[in-house]
Structure 1
Amino acid sequence: MEVILKEDVNKLGHRGDVVKVANGYGRNYLLPGKLAIEATAANKAVIEQMKNSAARKAVKEKAAAELQAVELSKVELSFERKVGDNDHLFGSVTSGDIAAALEAQGYEIDRRKIALEEPLKTIGEFHVPVKLFRDVTAHVKVTVNGDRPVAAATVAE
C-alpha cells in the first residue's frame, strides 16, 4: 500500500513523502491516526502543492520549536511515587505522566514526542529528551522522589 505522509513518522519518512507500507500498518495505524493519506491518483496530483506549503510551514514550525526548546530546557518537573525497600518504586513515571505535568504548566506536548525509552522506575534526577521537530530536541529535568522522607543520619555518642 502506498501512502502520503501528513506528519513525520519515525523510521518511515517525513511529511509529504510517498512511502510503501504494509497494508495493515497503513489501514490500522497511519490512516486512522491521520498521519497519512492514501496515495491515490487524485492525492498524488495534490502532493506538489502539499510539499510547497509544507516547506513554508516547516520553516515557521522549526523557529517556533527552537523557541519552545529554550523554554522547555528551563522546566523542572518533580514526581512523588510510593517506594518500598531499597528505594524500589511501586509504579513508574511514564511519558504520559510527563506530558500531563507539562500541560499543567502550559506546554502542550504530545506524549509520543517525549523520547522516554522506558518508564522511570528509580528515584533520582533524569534529563528526558522531548523531540519538538526534526532537528530540535529539548531536555526536561525530571526528578522522581519517594513518598518517605529520607532518614536523617544519627550520630551515636
Structure 2
Amino acid sequence: MKVLLLGRVEGLGEAGDIVDADDAFVRDVLFPQELAVVATGSQSAQTSPSAIPEEELAAAQRVADLTDQKTVRIERPVNAERNLEKPLTARDLQSAIEQEIGASLPADAVRLPHPITEPGQYTVSLEFPHGLEAEIKLIVEPGNESK
C-alpha cells in the first residue's frame, strides 16, 4: 500500500516520504500511531522537504526547543540488588518528558537503545520529524526499596 509518512519511521522513511509498505504493517502499526495516511495522487508532489507546511515544521521545532538540554528526573522503586524493579522504557520516558514540558512528543521520538534497568544519569536522544533532534539528561533515582 502506498502511504504518505507523517513522521519518521525507522527502516521506512522520513516525514513527507511516499513509500510502499506492507498492508498489515500499515494497518497494525502506522495508522494506529498516526504515522501515515494513504497516499493520493496530489500528495506525490509533496515529497520534498520544501513542501512541508511551515506550521508543521514550526510545531516540530517548538517541541524540539522545549526538550533540548532539559533534565528529567524519574524516581523508580529498586530491589535488593539496587536494580529498578521495572525497567524504564522509551514509552515511560516519553510520558515523563511530556509531563515535564506540557506538550506531546511524536510516538517514536525517544531513542532509547534498550530499557534502563539501573538508577543513574543518562543522555537520551530525541528525534523529531523533518530531521530535528534534541538531547535530554535523564536522572533515574532510586525510590522505595521492595520489602
TM-score (norm 2): 0.75
> Which of 90, 98, 101 is matched with 2:93 structurally?
98
User: Could you list the per-position Cα deviations for residues 32-70 of structure 1 after superposition, in whole angstroms to 9, with x for gaps in the alignment?
Assistant: 44433334xxx21x125644897242x554455445434
Task: State which structure, 1 or 2, has the greater radius of gyration over its C-alpha atoms.
Answer: 1
Residue 84 to residue 122, structure 1, CA distance change in 2 (3 Å): same
Residue 32 to residue 109, structure 1, CA distance change in 2 (3 Å): closer
Q: Which structure exhibits the higher relative contact order, with contacts defined as CA atoms closer than 8 Å and separated by 6 or more residues?
A: 2
The alpha carbon displacement at 1:13 in A equals 2.0
Residue 27 to residue 137, structure 1, CA distance change in 2 (3 Å): same
User: Could you list the per-position Cα deviations for residues 65-116 of structure 1 after superposition, in whole angstroms to 9, with x for gaps in the alignment?
Assistant: 4454343234211111222233222112222222222222223223421111
Residue 64 to residue 144, structure 1, CA distance change in 2 (3 Å): same
Corresponding residue of 1:129: 125
**Partner Cα distance (2:7, 2:106) in 1:** 13
**Partner Cα distance (2:37, 2:107) in 1:** 23
Structure 1 window deviating more from structure 2 (105-114 vs 119-128): it is: 105-114
Contact 1:79-1:93 at 8 Å conserved across structures: no
Residue 5 to residue 96, structure 1, CA distance change in 2 (3 Å): closer
**Partner Cα distance (1:53, 1:111) in 2:** 20
Which residue identity lines up with residue 71 of structure 2 in the other structure?
A: E
Question: Does residue 89 of the first structure (1) align with residue 88 of the second (2)?
Answer: no
**Partner Cα distance (2:137, 2:110) in 1:** 12
Q: Aligned residues: percent identity?
A: 26
Corresponding residue of 1:26: 26
Which residue identity lines up with residue 29 of structure 2 in the other structure?
A: Y
User: Aligned residues, how many?
Assistant: 144
**Partner Cα distance (2:65, 2:33) in 1:** 29
Which residue identity lines up with residue 142 of structure 2 in the other structure?
A: G
Contact 1:125-1:141 at 8 Å conserved across structures: yes
Aligned Cα RMSD in Å? 3.0
Corresponding residue of 1:107: 103
Residue 26 to residue 104, structure 1, CA distance change in 2 (3 Å): closer
